[in-house]
Amino acid sequence: MKIKEVKSHILQYDLKEELGYSQQYYQKRTGHLVEVVTDEGITGWGECFGPGNVAIANKVIVERVIQPMILGEDPLNRDVLWHRVYNLLRDHGQKGMPIQALSGVDIALWDILGKVTGLSISKLIGGRFREKVPVYGYGMMLRREKLLVLKDIFEDEAAAIKSAGFVATKMKVGLGPKQDVQLAEAVRRGVGDDFPFMVDANHCYTVDQALYVGRALEELEAYWFEEPVAPEDLVGYQELRTQLKINIAGGEAEFTRWGWRNLLEKRCLDIAQPEVCALGGISEYLRVLALAQAHFTQVINHVWGSAVAVATNLQLLAALPPLPGGIHPQEPMLEFDTTDNKFRDDLLTEPLNIQRQVAKSGGHVGVPDVPGHGAEPNREFLEHFALEV
């Protein structure tokens, strides 16, 4: 079997409502799928992390830089191809866009392996510890509203996510430490006393600000505090972990085993959030997972993007070994975006129906036992939302 073509599909549409996180507001939803075509009629699908114009740069890397390195090769030689691409790109980017681009290609190669063998990715990487996973719904994105109005929006939205059946929820912060604490108080009011909620800062604080917000979040019994400081500030993460009781989560902006080694060795995180569509694909995710386990750090995957990313993560979560294990092990959760996202809800020929399953099953979703990750994009949908570049 040979790789015949490596193709990027960038999808985009205008959101009905502008949404934001601590770094920016955005008006468009973007998706970036990678299709690897073989000479035997089998096609694999992957996805690259990277919204907006970053997706355009990643498309060029996928099609013009990586494709020539792997064209005509056996797609089942996943690791050989991974290392060839990484070695050739090492001088030009050990993190960021080259690795995001490689991630989408690698996921597609795993999908091909699944289709060739008839096995799901969860079976291929070691088997299924669980047939269903609990789902947390994130929402409470920033809007350009006055704090008073935004507090009400957050309180209502948090209550709605809880009543939709999700097992936990996650909010954004980023207006400033004092305002952010008020937003977190609103979310706690919305979900009531016994429901877990998490807080995602997208690295908008200094260490001092993060200590202030973190202490308030401890009072509110928030479950984790995500990306409180810049991902480069490993000493800042260490300080927060020493001084705060709340779980410190992060890692979505870290890449490859070499980047993750530093985060984990320095004990920066209580909860590691590897992003498979960014850190180097499934091949590299498995190595990062081994590192996290070697450092006894709990893993709850970061999930963002289309139904291909969600389906891939479902497979990974099914195969995630409990750490440290026991009769009642701590279960991982699927991260799920509750905001408007056609690329997650309407992209596939057979939709995942996450929201319906969550509502029916007390917050859980079944892991499909299908070849590969099982996500097959609808060609007409791809054409309709294609961004021409």
How many Cβ atoms are within 10 Å of 49's Cβ, its own excluded? Answer: 25
Stretch that binds Ca ion, among 118-126, 155-163, 197-205, 312-320 (CB under 5 A): 197-205
Stretch that binds Ca ion, among 55-63, 123-131, 199-207, 241-249 (CB under 5 A): 199-207
How many Cβ atoms are within 10 Å of 296's Cβ, its own excluded? Answer: 10
115 DSSP 8-state letter: H
111 vs 200, which CB is nearer to Ca ion? 200
Residues in contact with Ca ion, total (CB under 5 A)? 1
Shortest spacing between CB 226 and Ca ion, in angstroms: 5
Dist CA 14 CA 198 (whole Å) = 28
Burial state string for 303-323 with b = 16 or more CB within 10 A and e = fewer than 16: bbbbbbbbbbbbbbbbbbeeb
Shortest spacing between CB 200 and Ca ion, in angstroms: 4
Those residues whose C-beta lies under 8 Å from the C-beta of residue 379, and which sit 6 or more positions away, are none
The three-state secondary structure class of 258 is helix
106 vs 200, which CB is nearer to Ca ion? 200
67 vs 341, which CB is nearer to Ca ion? 341
The three-state secondary structure class of 249 is strand
Beta bridge partners of 32: 10
302: annotated active-site residue? yes
Shortest spacing between CB 252 and Ca ion, in angstroms: 5
* 275 touching Ca ion, by CB under 5 A: no
- Closest Cα to residue 291, out of 319, 312, 270, 262? 262
* 200 touching Ca ion, by CB under 5 A: yes
The bridge status of strand 43-47 relative to strand 24-38 is antiparallel
Dihedral pair phi/psi, residue 72, rounded to 5°: 80, -5
* 337 touching Ca ion, by CB under 5 A: no
47 vs 200, which CB is nearer to Ca ion? 200
Stretch that binds Ca ion, among 43-51, 96-104, 107-115, 194-202 (CB under 5 A): 194-202
Dist CA 288 CA 293 (whole Å) = 9
Tokens linked to 309: 């990313």
* 335 touching Ca ion, by CB under 5 A: no
* 254 touching Ca ion, by CB under 5 A: no
Query: Which of the residues 32, 203, 302, 364 is marked catalytic?
Result: 302
111 vs 157, which CB is nearer to Ca ion? 157
* 284 touching Ca ion, by CB under 5 A: no
Q: Which residues of the shown chain bind Ca ion in the complex (CB under 5 A)?
A: 200
Instruction: Provide the annotated active-site residues.
Output: 302
